[in-house]
Structure 1
Amino acid sequence: MAFPSIAHVALTVSDLASSAAWYELLLGVSPVLDEDAGGFWHTVYPLAGGALLGLHAHPQTDSDDRFDARRVGLDHVGFGCANREELQAWQSRLDELGIAHGGIVDAGYGSGLSFKDPDGNALEFFAPPS
């Protein structure tokens, strides 16, 4: 039996309104779901290939807390690009949106373009080696 692909990723955010606006600008889409999920608010965006990206707002979340990849748990979320040209297009798009990034970094296993959301959640565009 083959292991299934990832269906969705959900990120906890400190300010849902601010994060939702940021993600809508980045993704270029509106949420397909925006509801009270029983104890937390759940806003969900469609991604290419049928996957979903969710934002969760919990009433208990400390608004001053920020993501730290050095803690146990999620390190980053990587979005796949077909090739380096697509990666370069995303770099230009991040520049247009005023989103700081680390520039394209090439390695033997592929090329990545890292950036962060308003809560510091680590995100990356990644292309396989050409």
Structure 2
Amino acid sequence: MTFPGLQHVAITVSDLERSTAWYSALFGTEPVLDEDEEGGRFHHAVYALGGGALFGLHTHQGRESRDRFSEERTGLDHIAFGVGSHDELERWAQKLTELGIEHDGIKKAHYGSGVSFRDPDNIALEFFAAPES
């Protein structure tokens, strides 16, 4: 049996309105879902991404920590969005620049190339392309 791929990622944000605006600009679309969870424990805004994956922004009705994200704490290190080629990676780097999102440009390694950037809560994100054959 093959292990299944990721279906969705959900992150907790400190300011849902700010993060929804930021991710809507990055993704070029609005959430497909924006509602309170049935039990009222959290509110989420959910985006549909390419390949059928979902990306959710959660707020826990004021119970979330106001600490900024750090990949040095146990838990999430970063989230990478896969792109198909180095040319596409260059286009995404340009899009980040156009949106005013700071990044360090394309970094190359033997296992692929990536552009790293951060969201308003300092959550580490990346566009990543596997090495071209």
Give the Cα–Cα distance (whole angstroms) in 2 for the partners of residues 17 and 68 of structure 1.
21
Give the Cα–Cα distance (whole angstroms) in 2 for the partners of residues 72 and 61 of structure 1.
17
Match of residue 124 from structure 2: 122
Match of residue 85 from structure 2: 83
Task: State the shift of 1:61 in Å.
Answer: 1.4
1:11-30 aligned at under 5 Å gives the runs 11-30=11-30
Percent identical residues? 58
The residue identity in structure 1 corresponding to 2:58 is H
Give the Cα–Cα distance (whole angstroms) in 1 for the partners of residues 89 and 47 of structure 2.
21
Task: State the shift of 1:62 in Å.
Answer: 3.0
Deviations 1:5-36 (A, max 9, x none): 10000010000000000000000011111000
Give the Cα–Cα distance (whole angstroms) in 1 for the partners of residues 54 and 90 of structure 2.
24
Give the aligned length.
129
Give the Cα–Cα distance (whole angstroms) in 2 for the partners of residues 46 and 3 of structure 1.
22
What's the C-alpha RMSD, in Å, of the aligned pairs? Answer: 0.7
1:1-130 aligned at under 5 Å gives the runs 1-37=1-37, 38-58=40-60, 59-63=62-66, 65-130=67-132
Give the Cα–Cα distance (whole angstroms) in 2 for the partners of residues 88 and 62 of structure 1.
35
Give the Cα–Cα distance (whole angstroms) in 2 for the partners of residues 62 and 69 of structure 1.
15
Give the Cα–Cα distance (whole angstroms) in 2 for the partners of residues 113 and 123 of structure 1.
8
Deviations 1:44-87 (A, max 9, x none): 00100000000000121133x11100011110000000010000
Give the Cα–Cα distance (whole angstroms) in 2 for the partners of residues 110 and 50 of structure 1.
23
Give the Cα–Cα distance (whole angstroms) in 2 for the partners of residues 129 and 62 of structure 1.
38
Structure 2: gaps (5+ residues): none
> TM-score normalized by structure 2?
0.95
